[in-house]
Structure 1
Amino acid sequence: MKLVDEFRKGWLGISPPSLALSVGFATICLMLATLVRWGLAQVRPDIFFTPYFPAVFFAAAFGGLRIGVVTALIGGVLGVSLNFGDVHADRARFVLLVLYWAVSALTIWGVEHYRSLLIEQRRISKRLIEEEEYRKLLVDELQHRLKNKLSTVHAVLHQVLHDQPQVWARIDPRLRSLAATDDLIARVDNSGCDIRDLLISELGPYGHVRFTLNGERLFLPAKLAVTLSLMFHELATNASKYGAFSAPRGLLQVSWTVSDDRLTVTWDETEGPSVDKVSAPGFGTKLLKSALIAFDGKTEISYLKSGVHCIMQCRIPKS
């Protein structure tokens, strides 16, 4: 089992095989090539070097440059010295020997070049995996700190507003909804979630009577769910500052439809303050415009007299 494991690691390029195993493998390749040459000699006795090309290739792929060169040299010697049938060495065979070594050199160079690319790719993959693990660790730590800070803010406000139960009754559910949204995004980053649950988590702090949701149950993959959560959060924040949620009678309607693998989400605000002047695009607007490009999508934002009208279209990944 140890020998098999060493052979597997050497063949996959995980770790270089031992010299003894490399020599043994090259010897077996040469023996098989000679056996094939003997079989072909029963039909064509003038085939001298062709069966040794695969031996050179496999020996170089497994054992490396030196083993490949030695195998090519020994294969050439065997092709010249061994005679099957009545054919003997002549000048033409030595010309074929030179051609055989030239092609073998190209074969060995190609194998070594591919091996170097494979090693570099494995090194880059290892570095990317390490960076991804570090990113996850950092995100988990930031989420933990954010939860602790939100809990601290909740406790401080509860203590300050202890004598004002009416004000606390309006703030407490919003803080709890924000905490629930953070927990949902943390779960979404790993497994995805339903679009309705995502919207309720984002819009819940503003009151369930202020918005309506229209659409069938739809499960979103993790990456798309995280992207849409950022967009919904940005739109909801703008609605609370300048849009429908900033007016006493303001309402929001969010609807979504799916056609084949295309998702269309419509964000429609009504009864909010009229938009007289649109400021220069900031970070939030740029986020809304570019977030869905990775999903072959786009975002269209219109500032109507009744409020913001936003259409988000994208492709739902199959995985």
Structure 2
Amino acid sequence: MGKLIEEFRRGWQGISQPSPLFSIAFAICCIALSTLARWSLSLIRPDIFFTPYVPAVVFATAFGGSRIGIATALVGGALGVGLNFSDTSTDFARVALLVIFLAVCAVTVWGIEHYRSVAARQRAIAKRLTEEEEYRKLIVDELQHRLKNKLSAVHAVLHQVLYDQPKVWATIDQRLRSLAATDDLIARVDGIGCDIKDLLLSELGPYGHVRFTLNGEPLFLPAKLAVSLALIFHELATNAGKYGAFASARGLLQVSWSVSDDRLNIVWDETEGPPVGPVGEAGFGTKLLNSALRPFDGKTEIAFLKTGVHCTMQCRIPKD
């Protein structure tokens, strides 16, 4: 019984084509119910011959296809002409109603079959896209795994080479750990998103928690926006570690954020860092800062002040 129910469910939802025997049995049930409905209506209106069979044609076609629908229409028409529940006889009017009934059924069967074909194509496309997405995730996971192994190998090699230079190693070790944390975070937020504070802690943690302060209410970021901000924060933190607040023993960083309507405002403010020298041509990092938030109707403005780098970020928070 459960197998029959499952076959009916899959056939009704269009997941798979039911067997011919099951489709015929379903059509017979529809005709039987329509005949019962016609008998009930004959107690009130004995001149109703074909109308109750229209739903049977609709359901039989939707479930079993055009051939089953056509057969149902022909059987319904034959019952409407030959089966009487009163003393009325077959006349020209009933024949005319039969022609109208068959015409309506023909249009109905054509429309439902067209919808079935369109739905089948859409299901095939959806299935292919799902398979491609699963394959993409598999490839991305494999790539991330290999990159992580390569980064671990680079980390180990540099540790051996710089074993006698602890100061140099300490600086490189922080950057490698920060880069690995960012890579893991981007891989993690690609599917679900994360809180902005967790995003900043992941990126800034290797520099020491006493070197920065975070001000703002808890805010969950959608995955795509979280990835973009992770790239921006990584670039700013890397710059701070090389030339900014984290490159000075007294340097401090303050990051604050607020939300107004659906707009996110972030301020990155460095102080007590080394003096800012002349700024050269825009490199990859600057281009990244200028373009990463454009998909979210946002922008990034960076100023190299005497007190340190001051960067403001504004963007729209996607609802989905």
TM-score where L is the length of structure 2: 0.86
Task: Let me know the Cα RMSD of the aligned residues.
Answer: 2.8
Secondary structure of the structure 2 residue equivalent to 1:15: coil
Q: Match for residue 51 of structure 2? A: 50
Unaligned runs of 5+ in 1: none
Q: Match for residue 70 of structure 1? A: 71
* Alpha-carbon displacement from aligned partner over 1:170-222 (angstroms, at most 9, x marks no partner): 32233223223322333323443331221122234455555432113333343
Counterpart Cα distance in 1 of 2:114 and 2:137 = 35
Counterpart Cα distance in 2 of 1:98 and 1:247 = 92
* Alpha-carbon displacement from aligned partner over 1:135-175 (angstroms, at most 9, x marks no partner): 11111111111111111111111111122122222322332
Q: Match for residue 287 of structure 1? A: 291
Secondary structure of the structure 2 residue equivalent to 1:310: strand
TM-score where L is the length of structure 1: 0.86
Q: Match for residue 100 of structure 1? A: 101
Worse overlay, 50-59 or 71-80: 71-80
- Per the TM alignment, residue 226 of structure 1 is displaced from its structure 2 partner at its CA by 2.4
- Per the TM alignment, residue 227 of structure 1 is displaced from its structure 2 partner at its CA by 3.0
8 Å Cα contact 2:182-2:234 kept in structure 1: no
Indicate how the Cα distance of structure 1 residues 235 and 105 shifts in structure 2: closer, same or farther if over 3 A, else same. farther
8 Å Cα contact 2:290-2:299 kept in structure 1: no
8 Å Cα contact 1:251-1:269 kept in structure 2: yes
Counterpart Cα distance in 1 of 2:236 and 2:174 = 20
- Per the TM alignment, residue 21 of structure 1 is displaced from its structure 2 partner at its CA by 1.1
Matched positions, count: 314
- Per the TM alignment, residue 273 of structure 1 is displaced from its structure 2 partner at its CA by 2.4
- Aligned positions of 1:25-40 closer than 5 A: 25-40=26-41
Q: Match for residue 310 of structure 1? A: 312
Amino acid at match of 1:299: K
- Per the TM alignment, residue 27 of structure 1 is displaced from its structure 2 partner at its CA by 1.0
Unaligned runs of 5+ in 2: none
Counterpart Cα distance in 2 of 1:280 and 1:166 = 28
Worse overlay, 44-53 or 87-96: 87-96
Counterpart Cα distance in 2 of 1:264 and 1:213 = 14
Counterpart Cα distance in 1 of 2:71 and 2:156 = 76
Choose which of 276, 283, 299 in structure 2 pairs with 1:273. Answer: 276
Q: Match for residue 196 of structure 2? A: 195
1:214 matched to 2:243: no
- Aligned positions of 1:215-230 closer than 5 A: 215-230=216-231
* Alpha-carbon displacement from aligned partner over 1:263-317 (angstroms, at most 9, x marks no partner): 33223345662676764997514532424x2xxx422425464544322232254
Amino acid at match of 1:290: R
8 Å Cα contact 1:247-1:273 kept in structure 2: no
8 Å Cα contact 1:193-1:219 kept in structure 2: yes
Counterpart Cα distance in 2 of 1:289 and 1:10 = 46
